[in-house]
Structure 1
Amino acid sequence: MKNVKITSTILFYITRIVAVLYLATTFYSLLTLLTEWSVIIRENGQYYSICFPFSEKHFLNGENNWAYKIFNFLIPIGFYGIFFLLLSNVFNAFRKPKLFTKYGVNQLRNFYLANITLPFLEILLASIFAGKIEEGLEFVAVIHFFLGVFAYFMAAIFKQGLQIQNEQDLFI
C-alpha cells in the first residue's frame, strides 16, 4: 500500500501542475483575445497567434473568428484544465490513510461524469455554433467516454468498499 501512496502523491502533484498550466493558459488566452494584447493577426486576418507574454514569439495559433476561438480553442483548453484538476483529485483520494472514503467515491464520480459528458457537449456546441469540429475530436471523445466508464466501475467498487468498511466499523 505504501507504493500506491507514493505513486499517487507523485501523480497528484504532476496532474495538479498540468491543471494549473491548462487553466492559466485558458485565462491568458481569454485575456489576450478580449484585449488583443499580445495577439498577432496573420494572413490577411484569417489566422491569429497568441504570443508568449511580453514577447512576439508565437505560443498558440488559430482561425480568426469568434466561433472557432470559443468552441474549438478556449473551451477545449479549459476542459482539459478541468480534466487534469479532477484527475488530480482522484489521485489525492489515493493518498489518504483510508482507501475507501466518501471523498474518494465523490472524486471518482466527478471524474467519470466529466469524462462522459463534457467531450460530447463540446462536440455538440462546436458543431452547432462553429459549424465544424476539429479533426480527431470524435476519437478523443470516445477515449474520454471509455475512461469515464472505467472510472464509473471504479467508483462503484469504491462505493461498495466504503459500505463494507462502514459495516465493519459498526460491527467492531
Structure 2
Amino acid sequence: MKLKTFGERSLSTLLFYALRAITIGYIIFFILIVLAIVTKSFEIVNNEFIIKIPFTDSVIKGNYETKVFLAITIFLIFYTVFFYLASNIFKTFKSKVLFTKKASRYLLYFTFWNLLYAVTELVIIGILYQRMSITETPEWMLHLILGIFSWFIASIFKEGTQIQQENELTI
C-alpha cells in the first residue's frame, strides 16, 4: 500500500491529527504551569522553583525570577500556536483541491508567527538575558529560516491558486 502525500487518508491527514494532538498537549501543559504559578503550588529551593508535572515523575526547574517565568510562558504560547498553525496547513492539504486561498493564508500566518518569534526571542535573549552565543545554532535562527522558507511556499501557493482559478475559468 502506497501512502499518498495529499488528500484523504494521506500523510497530510496523519500529520494534521498528530499536530493537533501536540497542540492539545501544549495547551494542557500550559494550563498546568499557569495553575501552579497562580496557586503558588510549587517549591522554592535555593532560589529555584520546582513545579511537579502531575501524573509523571517530571519537574520543571528554573531560577525563581520573573524573566524565567516570562520565558517559559512565551515558549509555551509560541509552540502552542506554532503547532496549531502547522496543523491548519496540513488540514488544507487533506482536501481534494490543494491550491486554495485558505492554504495560502495559513502558510502566511505560519510565516508571520515564525518571523515574529525569531525577532521576539532575539530581543529577549539580547535584552533580558544579555547573552549571545555563536557556538550553538540559536533557536531564533531556525525559526527565521523556517519563516522565510514558508514565505516562499506561501508565494508558490498563491501563484498556484491563481493559475488553478484561471484554469477552471477556461474549462
Tell me the TM-score normalized by structure 1: 0.86
Asked whether 1:19 is paired with 2:18, we answer: no
Q: 1:126 to 1:154 in 2, by over 3 A?
A: same
Partner Cα separation in structure 2 for residue 4 and residue 150 of structure 1: 20
Match of 2:82 in 1: 83
Which range moves more in the overlay, 98-107 or 23-32? 23-32
Match of 1:62 in 2: 62
Match of 1:34 in 2: 38
Moved over 3 A (4+): 125-128, 130-138
2:148 is matched by which residue type in structure 1? V
2:28 is matched by which residue type in structure 1? A
1:31 is matched by which residue type in structure 2? L
Match of 2:53 in 1: 52
Task: Extract unaligned runs of 5+ from structure 2.
Answer: none
Match of 1:153 in 2: 152
Partner Cα separation in structure 1 for residue 67 and residue 52 of structure 2: 20
Secondary structure of the equivalent of 1:49? Answer: strand
Does the CA contact (< 8 Å) of 1:49 and 1:58 recur in 2? no
Report how far residue 78 of structure 1 moved: 1.5
Which range moves more in the overlay, 24-33 or 109-118? 24-33
Match of 2:161 in 1: 162
2:75 is matched by which residue type in structure 1? P
Q: Aligned residue pairs: how many? A: 166
- Fraction of identical pairs, as percent: 30
Match of 1:4 in 2: 5
Partner Cα separation in structure 2 for residue 133 and residue 15 of structure 1: 32
Match of 1:101 in 2: 100
Q: 1:34 to 1:88 in 2, by over 3 A?
A: same
Partner Cα separation in structure 2 for residue 85 and residue 138 of structure 1: 25
Decide which structure has greater helix share.
1
1:14 is matched by which residue type in structure 2? A
Partner Cα separation in structure 2 for residue 95 and residue 160 of structure 1: 20
1:52 is matched by which residue type in structure 2? I
Tell me the TM-score normalized by structure 2: 0.86
2:5 is matched by which residue type in structure 1? V
**Cα shift readout 1:94-148 (whole Å, capped 9, x = no counterpart):** 10110001110011000111111223213314544x4446979961111111111
Partner Cα separation in structure 1 for residue 28 and residue 82 of structure 2: 14
Does the CA contact (< 8 Å) of 2:121 and 2:140 recur in 1? no
Task: Extract unaligned runs of 5+ from structure 1.
Answer: none
Which range moves more in the overlay, 1-10 or 109-118? 1-10
